[in-house]
Amino acid sequence: MMAGMIWLDWLAYLALLLVIVAGLIINLIGLPGLWLVVAAVIGYAWLTGWAYVGWKILAALVVMGIVAEVVELLAGSAGARAAGASKRGAVGAIIGALVGGVVGSAVLFLIGTIIGAVVGAFVGAAIIEVVLGKSLEQSARIGFGAAKGRVWGMAAKTGVGVAMLILAMIVGFPGRGRAAGPIRALPPTTVPVPATTQRA
């Protein structure tokens, strides 16, 4: 019975890796792929009876996902602000990156998404700054800052995703055996009988 469970664990592990890789690809096109990674690990833990993955690992993955999302979201606007953008220009960089990622995905999957998000951050920040009255040169410089920030944000989020993949691969590896198996019967215990005093 245990051998059959291990084979099922291996199948679940293979499915886990495939879903995580898909999550990393989805992440590159601007969708919440890291949360697909978290969902895949939860599903794997449930299928294997929590024999490999515990709540601490899941909590760590959730924290990593939140940090990655925040970094990616703020990176483009931070790059624009560092180049002198206004708050509206920073928001324009975020919106432009989202729109550019969607348009790029429609043109060319994956590569087009990355290029679209970067170009969108540039265009979004630059247009807002031009509308607010800044010169074309200054607006372009702000746009370049937003694009550079977006690149760093995507790189950081992808790096976190790879770290999540490695963590899931190590923790969920079935080759190290199940950490929690069937409950074994406890050995019988002997209860000492108090000695009785004999009367003369």
pLDDT digits (tens, 9 = 90+) for 111-151: 887 888 889 989 999 999 999 899 989 989 989 998 998 88
pLDDT band at 77 (very low <50, low <70, confident <90, very high): confident
C-beta of residue 11 within 8 angstroms of C-beta of residue 97: no
| Cα 122 from Cα 79, distance rounded (Å) | 10
> Residue 72: its pLDDT value, please?
80
pLDDT digits (tens, 9 = 90+) for 46-63: 998 888 999 999 999 999
Q: Angle formed by the axes of helices 136-171 and 87-107, to 10°?
A: 60
- Which percentage of the chain shows pLDDT scores above 90? 35
Mean per-residue pLDDT, 143-162? 89
Amino acid at residue number 164: M
Report whether pLDDT(182) > 50: no
pTM of the model: 0.70
